Structure 1
Amino acid sequence: MSGRVTSLEQAKPQPLVHPCSLSTQGTIPLPLLFLITKQSRAPVRGSAWLEFARSRAGAGAWAGAGQQRGPPLSSQPCRALYLFAKSNNIPFEFKRVELMKGQHKSKEFRKVNPMMKVPALEDGSFLLSESIAILLYLARKFKTPDHWYPSDLQKRARVDEYLSWQHANIRAKSSDVFVSKFMLPVLVGQPLPPKKLEEIVEELNTVLKQFEVQFLQDKPFIAGSEVSLADLVALVELMQPVGAGHNLFEEKPKLAEWRSRVEAAVGPKLFEEAHQTILKAKYMTPDKIPPVVLEVIKSQALKQIGQA
């Protein structure tokens, strides 16, 4: 269950991946990352362009200057793409896009994605947006191990079922907790009333229970005995509240054991590398963010949780 590919199609041009911000309606557009792979006869190794869109304070503003050892992946879709590509030896290269400077609206990037959203993928003349679509495309193009997106009809249906459900449930409710427990009180200085915060946490607990009963059941993984894209997408979303200090795995032994299995299947060191930024969110302080950006964060955060 290592999820690694032993060989690549070296003669073929490799796809260009442009990674991730919170790209869907109703979520907060944090300054994030942009993946791109080169067109080359030789495979491009995971390489050097690993910069977070910076605040005016300079590099390291999110994780704490001098403490960042890996890619600054604060976005859930970014982490899913990064983990999947790395664990399957898919060649890619990061390219920096500074959302705080509006680079996602630049003429160059709009050629890649006219919707001005990330993630996006460029494979020759073929362009693709949305992280789930990109994950499925990469799984097929690089013929990754079958367990990621099973050929068995019913196992694949289980993966599709979760990926269809998660967006308005696990993703939405986890994001709400992150906003409520970190962005509003720490960055904006406007904590929610205790009753409202309790309601938001309870909504997350409700979908976690649904996840355990409907999707995980008594299986090691969502699709059965092996890890799949569904597990990967689920876990990166559930790590977001953890980054805000809300350990949703406490007192949930089934969920905690599943998390350990997914981490082991992906690779513990790789998983830690991908999550080090979000788990150091406490280092982010308002003084490292331009005031105009803070106003945008405040407006969109309050709107997301229905307080605008």
Structure 2
Amino acid sequence: MAAAAATGGGAATGAGSPPAKLKLFSYWRSSCSFRVRFALNLKGLEYEYVPVNLLKGEQFGAEFSKINPIHYVPALADGDFVLADSFAILMYLEEKYPHHRPLLPSDLEKRAINYQAANIVSASIQPLQNIYVLKFLEEKVSPSEPLSWVQYHIGRGFSALEKVLADHAGKYATGDEVCLADVFLAPQIYAAVKRFNVDMSQFPILSKLHEAYSEIPAFQDAMPENQPDAPQPQA
């Protein structure tokens, strides 16, 4: 796997900088990787981007199997310490670099809503649009089945999120600061709009959030098409 250097956007604040550059194993279209890129950029943490081409099966190679035995991206290397799973990575970054743009609010109830919204995305939506699930449906059911499957499950999750966030959303998911819920929501809504053609007219809160996210430089830098392993447009 070839490495491509990338740095996150946003200014780091607080006590000191990390002693060594982080290394992120990522795939350009992975929404789980997108979450971590967004968070790293928000926190102003520099990282080296190491592409793992899921379509070519690089996640099953001997090198990456040592990094993550379940063969998913993202994975994060912080010196000799390696961690996989986006939720675990985000909690690790939050606890290790709390002064670098905190993602969790101090208010206990607001923090709990962030966990709930993030979990709806990570447990009830994203796994059902995973490349392995879609490939299985295409092969075992029909080539047209994956899109309707994904649209149904995204719609179900988005309907729940509209209700969960109704009493909490401001400019962003739980107020006027970007928090953990936004780190999960932003890539998921982006995928719904750009990749899966979900009708967002029935989700006014999430549509408003999508517009707000699109204006954040840290989000723009983390978008799939801006990654070094994204396919280049034909001239």
Q: TM-score range by the shorter chain?
A: 0.7 to 0.9
Larger Rg: 1
Q: CA deviation at 1:218?
A: 5.1
Residue number among 179, 186, 197 corresponding to 1:246 in the alignment: 197
> 1:235-293 CA deviation, whole Å, 9 max, x = no partner?
211222322351432353332112222333x338x427614379xx9x99xxxxxxxxx
3-state SS of paired residue (1:95): strand
Kept after mapping to 1: 8 A contact 2:23/2:76: yes
Give me the CA root mean square deviation: 3.8
Give the TM-score, by structure 2 length: 0.72
User: Aligned residue for 1:136?
Assistant: 91
> Equivalents in 1 of 2:11, 2:199: separation in Å?
29
3-state SS of paired residue (2:116): helix
> Equivalents in 1 of 2:212, 2:19: separation in Å?
34
**Structure 2 letter corresponding to 1:259:** H
> 1:16-63 CA deviation, whole Å, 9 max, x = no partner?
3322xxxxxxxxxxxxx2xxxxxxxxxxxxxxxxxxxxxxxxxxxxxx
Give the TM-score, by structure 1 length: 0.57
> Equivalents in 2 of 1:251, 1:77: separation in Å?
25
Are residue 171 (structure 1) and residue 126 (structure 2) matched? yes
Change (3 A) 1:99 1:75: closer
> Equivalents in 2 of 1:9, 1:238: separation in Å?
34
Are residue 276 (structure 1) and residue 225 (structure 2) matched? yes
**Structure 1 letter corresponding to 2:220:** F
Residue number among 206, 214, 228 corresponding to 1:263 in the alignment: 214
> Equivalents in 1 of 2:181, 2:125: separation in Å?
12
Instruction: Pick the structure with more strand per residue.
Output: 2
> 1:155-186 CA deviation, whole Å, 9 max, x = no partner?
2222222223323323245669x959xx95xx
User: Aligned residue for 1:145?
Assistant: 101
Where structure 1 has 5 or more consecutive residues not aligned to the other structure, the ranges are 20-32, 34-72, 285-308
> Equivalents in 1 of 2:119, 2:196: separation in Å?
28
> Equivalents in 1 of 2:109, 2:51: separation in Å?
39
Residue number among 17, 35, 58 corresponding to 2:24 in the alignment: 17
Change (3 A) 1:205 1:110: closer
> Equivalents in 2 of 1:116, 1:172: separation in Å?
14
